[in-house]
Structure 1
């Protein structure tokens, strides 16, 4: 009896670029679904644009960071995605890049705090919200 690979195993088998694309497709799907639901609720004049809950985007960045951090070409791959035409994909890629560089949204230029070895890292969701305000 062969076992079905776990999502983690599938992620580990992907290249960095494939991994980012997989996550990007997921966040675009969420944004497209949100737009469709908002247009159904508020009419077709509802403004175009990417809408995604901060907690969903934060979780996506964190979940992408984990397997991406094991890839040698992670930074090169993420650089190709930070200029994507859709805001949600730019936010995902820039968030993953920030995590690759600093390990948490609580550290680095976003907060002015530096990581100290052995110190506990608190929940970084508030710092993430500040970070997303800088994404164009």
Structure 2
């Protein structure tokens, strides 16, 4: 019994000595573990399912804003009256554009390509959101 008490007292003295050395070495701050660390399986931020639609809307708004800005920097006149009122000068003549069938078909194909690319963008976006939602659920 005496031997056991002696070993307990020696162990307690060593722990006090070590804690005293720790306190003298780290006199800048007092460190204590209050709660053990734990890891969440789900990320805290960013909420990508909310962030992706906002990024898409911001990109579309930036594209529309840029096109509007460029139309203001380099204006185009579609009729003689607007040109006459903007410049306050007399017009000597107007050149009209006569569209032939090949030109109309080219414009129609261009419009169809644009619509297909917008549809592809929406499909890729929806598939990406679906994949991210599925992966977030795992």
Larger Rg: 2
Tell whether the structures are fold-level matches, with TM greater than 0.5. Answer: no
Query: Which is helix-richer, 1 or 2?
Result: 2
State the TM-score, normalizing by the size of structure 1: 0.31
Instruction: Choose between structure 1 and 2 for higher RCO, CA contacts under 8 A separated by at least 6 residues.
Output: 2
